């Protein structure tokens, strides 16, 4: 049974009551819209893993409040001063804390990473990256930490040893960063396997891509800084996917099966981390194949599905695995005109078309613990909305949020509780 949290997360603006008794200036209306007149909300709301408990922040993000979904009674749990004193950190607020398990949080202070136990009120520094490191990405267990320096990829293992994954002297060959200028759903370039035995990453060879000058106005006088940018008709970057094996310390590479400069995107791991999925899209962007590769050897296994369109094919979401015990997956496709969900086997058999909506699905937000229900966001019939839905593996779809508006939707670990905001229904103004 699914339940809603009736929490103080309404988006009725304080300007509603304020404007009944006092006129506001133009400056107030513009400058204070996200301050004095901002929507009430639970700042930093997070479910605690594998529980029905949750936390949020008060007092300008300096105090963590702990509550249970059954009674919603909140009690103080952690303060900014307390965590800074224990860890020797210099945090300005509690934003950015991340739960590792039901009792432990990950604390990030610039280049330093620590764990903090709420049971013992004590913490330990676990990793520290170099000052120039970028794109830092932890594995699921928060033990191994990958990062880039300039054009190369490294990681710190759980013993805090720095391991070199790539050592390219040609700065035009870049590893561990986003490729294709973040098109087709690409947001990052580092992908730990579920059990942390492999580290997959994007690599781009942009040696032949022309330099494009940009004006850096952060200095006086400004100066020109060159970036690699493929203009129309010029040569583009050549992508690959690397897979580093932590046991053998060897890397295998996967190149496009078509042209060298085709797109590689939507990388995902199977739950058993034996294989990776990669969507390959041609440069004409009208022919996409979802391919499976062996993680140990990089060998092509099969094409699961292929989509073609005379005008446009745009894969933007990696394969989603509802459970960790099956290789069956959900694929988002707009082949029928709207983004819909399709449930496939790893052999490429369509098991079930899960949705057949005439409005776009924006993203999958998760699944229940059993892997039998998928949660997703979609506009519904009104394109100005953002609503929460769920669908089971037989295609039974349910609208979770009944009210019109833009909903932020967060499910707990097993889908028994959901948090959603109450949207703005009306706004009264005095003239």
Relative to beta strand 104-109, strand 112-117 is antiparallel
Instruction: Compute the distance between CA of residue 103 and CA of residue 101 in angstroms, rounded to an integer.
Output: 6
Residue 186 has pLDDT above 90, yes or no: yes
pLDDT at residue number 2: 62
* Residue scoring higher pLDDT (403 or 251): 251
Instruction: Compute the distance between CA of residue 148 and CA of residue 362 in angstroms, rounded to an integer.
Output: 30
Percent of the chain with pLDDT over 90: 80
Beta-carbon count within 10 A of 306 CB: 13
What residues contact residue 313 under an 8 Å CB cut-off, 6+ apart? 281, 285, 286, 287, 288, 307
* Residue scoring higher pLDDT (301 or 16): 301
Residue 22 has pLDDT above 80, yes or no: no
Query: If you search the block for the tokens 């009264």, which residue do you land on?
Result: 428
The pLDDT tens digits for 62-90 are 999 999 998 888 999 999 999 999 999 99
pLDDT at residue number 4: 56
Q: What is the mean pLDDT of residues 409-430?
A: 66
Residue 297 has pLDDT above 60, yes or no: yes
The pLDDT tens digits for 110-164 are 999 999 999 999 999 999 999 999 999 999 999 999 999 999 999 999 999 999 9
pLDDT at residue number 13: 35
pLDDT at residue number 1: 59
Residue 254 has pLDDT above 80, yes or no: yes
Rg (CA), the chain: 24
Percent of the chain with pLDDT over 70: 91
Residue 403 has pLDDT above 50, yes or no: yes
DSSP class per residue in 196-264: SSEEEEEEEE-TTSPEEEEEE-SSSS-EEEEEE---TTS---EEEEEEEETTTTEEEEE--SS-TT-EE
Query: If you search the block for the tokens 């041609």, which residue do you land on?
Result: 282
Peptide bond before residue 221 is cis, with ω within 30 degrees of 0: yes
Average pLDDT, the chain: 91
Relative to beta strand 145-149, strand 134-138 is antiparallel
Q: What is the DSSP letter of 38?
A: P
């Amino acid at each position: 049974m699914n339940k809603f949290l009736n929490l103080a997360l309404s988006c009725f603006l304080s300007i509603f009551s304020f404007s009944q008794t006092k006129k506001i200036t133009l400056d107030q209306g513009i400058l204070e819209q996200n301050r004095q007149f901002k929507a009430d909300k639970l700042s930093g709301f997070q479910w605690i893993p594998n529980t029905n408990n949750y936390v949020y922040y008060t007092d300008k993000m300096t105090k963590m409040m702990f509550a249970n979904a059954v009674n919603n009674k909140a009690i103080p749990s952690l303060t900014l001063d307390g965590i800074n004193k224990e860890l020797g950190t210099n945090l300005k607020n509690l934003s950015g804390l991340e739960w590792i398990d039901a009792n432990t949080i990950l604390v990030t202070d610039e280049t330093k990473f620590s764990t903090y136990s709420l049971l013992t009120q004590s913490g330990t520094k676990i990793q520290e990256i170099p000052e120039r490191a970028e794109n830092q990405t932890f594995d699921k267990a928060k033990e191994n930490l990958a990062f880039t320096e300039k054009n190369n990829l490294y990681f710190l293992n759980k013993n805090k040893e720095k391991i070199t994954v790539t050592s390219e002297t040609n700065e035009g060959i870049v590893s561990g960063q986003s490729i294709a200028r973040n098109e087709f759903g690409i947001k990052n370039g580092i992908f730990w396997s579920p059990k942390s035995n492999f580290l997959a990453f994007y690599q781009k060879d942009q040696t032949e891509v022309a330099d494009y000058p940009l004006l850096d106005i952060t200095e006086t006088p400004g100066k020109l800084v060159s970036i690699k940018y493929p203009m129309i008709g010029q040569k583009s970057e050549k992508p690959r996917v690397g897979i580093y094996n932590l046991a053998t310390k060897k890397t295998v590479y996967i190149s496009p099966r078509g042209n060298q400069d085709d797109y590689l995107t939507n990388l995902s791991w199977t739950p058993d981390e034996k294989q990776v999925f990669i969507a390959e899209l041609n440069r004409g962007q009208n022919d996409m194949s979802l391919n499976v590769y062996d993680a140990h050897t990089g060998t092509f296994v099969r094409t699961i599905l292929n989509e073609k369109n005379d005008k446009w094919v745009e894969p933007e979401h990696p394969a989603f695995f509802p459970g960790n015990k099956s290789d069956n997956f959900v694929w988002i496709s707009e082949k029928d005109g709207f983004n819909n969900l399709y449930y496939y086997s790893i052999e490429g058999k369509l098991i079930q078309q899960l949705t057949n909506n005439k409005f776009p699905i924006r993203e999958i937000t998760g699944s229940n613990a059993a892997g039998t229900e998928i949660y997703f966001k979609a506009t519904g019939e009104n394109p100005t909305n953002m609503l929460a839905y769920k669908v089971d593996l037989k295609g039974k779809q349910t609208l979770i949020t009944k009210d019109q508006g833009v909903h932020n939707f967060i499910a707990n670990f097993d889908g028994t509780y959901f948090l959603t905001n109450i949207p703005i229904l009306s706004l009264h103004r005095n003239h």
